[in-house]
Amino acid sequence: MKLLEQLPLFRLPPAVPDAKSRHVLIGARAVSYELRQGKGRRLALTIDERGLRIGAPPRLTLAEIEAFVRSHGDWVLAKLDEYAARNTQRFLRICDGARLPLLGGEAAVRVVGGANRVLWRGDELVLAARPDADLDALARRGLQRRALEHFAIRLGHYAALMDRPAPPLGLSSARGRWGSCSTQTGIRINWRLVHLPPHLGDYVVAHEMAHLVEMNHSARFWRVVGGLFPDWRAARAELKRRAAEIPIL
């Protein structure tokens, strides 16, 4: 039996369709959970922004499953409370005066009347919006524009280090990947990296550029990464840790 804690990057996909919703009493607190019994050999508890989910082998009874949950009750309650607090901080409401993390600093949001256009004035994101505008969508558009400009510069920097032309650059909104590389179509970088300090985005760009040399994760690949970004181990660990700080718009 094992416990799993996931650190999702962004909005999570909906629950598995065949999962059964139930609740279990942990002390005086009723905790909802989703149960899926399949072919797995071990009982696993997963806590993320969707709540508690349990995967269990078919041979276990409901009483055995819930006894296991209660035996780890302190851990379950602590993690659920942690994610509840994290959700409150991550789900941002875009409005005049809101502040967004931007490349190690902050961007102030200014909402004015207009025809649903976005523009940057330094680190101020101006949303010229109609009365019925989707401000979240406008903010995403502005952040993606800033991300594309920033990562194009960084891609050019690492391409020069490799003495090769910069490949085509696109943005990604993938939930579980920071970047991707194709020798045919170029490099895609997750635009949400614009919320994190620049050196973390640099690590991702260097990582994807290294794939142009080694389309794998072999020792040779990591040597190429190290030549471009020597502190890649620390950056990779920091990126994993700080993923949960990225706001959800």
151: left (phi over 0), alpha (psi -120 to 50) or beta: alpha
Same domain flag for 83 and 145: no
pLDDT of the residue at 92: 77
Cα dist from 57 to 15, 25, 38, 112, 120, whole Å: 18, 22, 5, 56, 53
Of the given ranges (54-68, 73-87, 189-203), which has the lowest mean pLDDT?
73-87
CATH number, domain of 206, equals 3.30.2010.10
Whole-number Å distance between alpha carbons of 217 and 175: 21
Domain tally, the chain: 2
Contact of 100 with 66, CB cutoff 8 Å: no
User: How many other C-beta atoms are found inside a 10 Å radius of the C-beta of residue 192?
Assistant: 25
| Mean predicted confidence (pLDDT) in 176-185 | 88
Lowest mean pLDDT segment, chosen from 42-46, 189-193, 208-212: 42-46
Same domain for 158 and 62? no
C-alpha 219: how far from chain center: 26
Q: Does any domain span residue 173?
A: yes
Considering the domain architecture, whether residues 68 and 144 belong to the same structural domain is answered as: no
Domain-terminating residue out of 74, 90, 106:
90
> Looking at per-residue confidence, does 2 or 71 come out higher?
71
Which is more confidently placed, 213 or 84? 213
pLDDT of residue 192: 95
Rounded to the nearest 5°, which phi and psi values hold at 244?
Answer: -70, -10
Domain residue limits at 201:
140-245
Tell me whether strands 44-48 and 29-37 are parallel, antiparallel or unpaired. Answer: unpaired
Q: What whole-number distance in Å separates Cα of residue 86 and Cα of residue 93?
A: 15
Res 12: pLDDT: 41
Domain final position from 59, 90, 121: 90
Nearest to 47 by CA among 39, 59, 55: 55
Determine the residue type at 218.
S
Per-residue pLDDT of 15-58, as tens digits, reads 444 556 788 889 888 888 889 887 777 898 988 767 899 999 88
Residues 51-76 pLDDT 10s: 899 999 888 899 999 999 999 999 99
Task: Quickly list DSSP for 203-216.
Answer: HHHHHHHHTTT-SS
Q: Are residues 82 and 144 in the same domain?
A: no
Within-domain flag for 45? yes
- In this structure, are 157 and 236 located in the same domain? yes
Of 66, 90, 114, the residue that ends a domain is 90
63 and 159 share a domain? no
Model confidence pLDDT, tens digit, residues 132-178: 889 999 999 999 999 999 999 999 999 999 999 999 999 998 877 89
Confidence (pLDDT) at 233: 95
Q: What share of the chain is helix, strand, coil (3-state, %, to 5)?
A: 40, 30, 35
pLDDT over 70, % of the chain: 88
Half-sphere exposure of 150 (CA within 13 A, CB side): 27
Closest CA to 191 of 181, 182, 183, 201: 201
Say how far apart CA 143 and CA 123 lie, in whole Å.
11
3 state SS of 5: strand
Same domain, residue pair 163 and 239: yes
In a domain, 64, yes or no: yes
Q: Output the DSSP codes for 120-172.
A: EETTEEEEEE-TT--HHHHHHHHHHHHHHHHHHHHHHHHHHHTTSPPPPEEEE
Residue 220 lies in a domain: yes
pLDDT tens, position by position, 217-243: 999 999 999 999 999 999 999 998 888
Same-domain status, 14 and 86: yes
Residue 5 pLDDT: 38
Predicted local distance difference test score (pLDDT) of residue 189: 96
Q: How many CA atoms does the CB half-sphere of 59 hold within 13 Å? A: 5
